[in-house]
Amino acid sequence: MSTYSFLNVNATLVGPGGSVNLGASAAVSEEGITIEAIEDKNILTIGAGGQGMHSLVANESSTVTIRLLKTSPTNTVLQNMYNFQTVSSVRHGRNVIVITDLGRGDVITLSGTAFKRAPTITYAKEGGMMEWAFDAISTVRVLGIGTPSIF
């Protein structure tokens, strides 16, 4: 398939204090959702004689950034969950985020996820966006081989 639409993207966060939709109907800003590995998967070491060695890193952690319009009601839900989870280590780091693209068959599951920080709040001429960042201990990526929606 050669088309893409954010309308096909579903995303949910489930954890202590609630669950929330983070997909197309959550007033996500045009910058959308980004998943970025925290560390490189490979470390290349070159010896004194010029020979090389690859080291495979076992780290599957990621940072997830979700950008919502300033006026999205989802900001309130996330702020309440942030407040609830960050008062105790018992609640911290227990979220799961699942992102799917039904049109492409992508499924990304992030577990052991914690709020990285409270979002920066800006009051300006334009409403702008709120960026919510999360750190995930485990990231499982399946691109394009899930079960895409066929019409």
Q: pLDDT per residue over 36-77, tens digit each?
A: 999 999 999 999 999 999 999 999 999 999 999 999 999 999
Owner of token pair 């049109």: 103
Q: Could you give the CA distance from residue 24 to residue 72 in angstroms, rounded to a whole number? A: 12
Q: What confidence tier does 4 reach under pLDDT thresholds 50, 70, 90?
A: confident
pLDDT of residue 140: 96
User: Are the CB atoms for 20 and 78 separated by under 8 Å?
Assistant: yes
Nearest to 63 by CA among 133, 143, 130: 133
- Sign of the four-CA dihedral 85, 90, 92, 95: negative
User: Are the CB atoms for 37 and 79 separated by under 8 Å?
Assistant: no
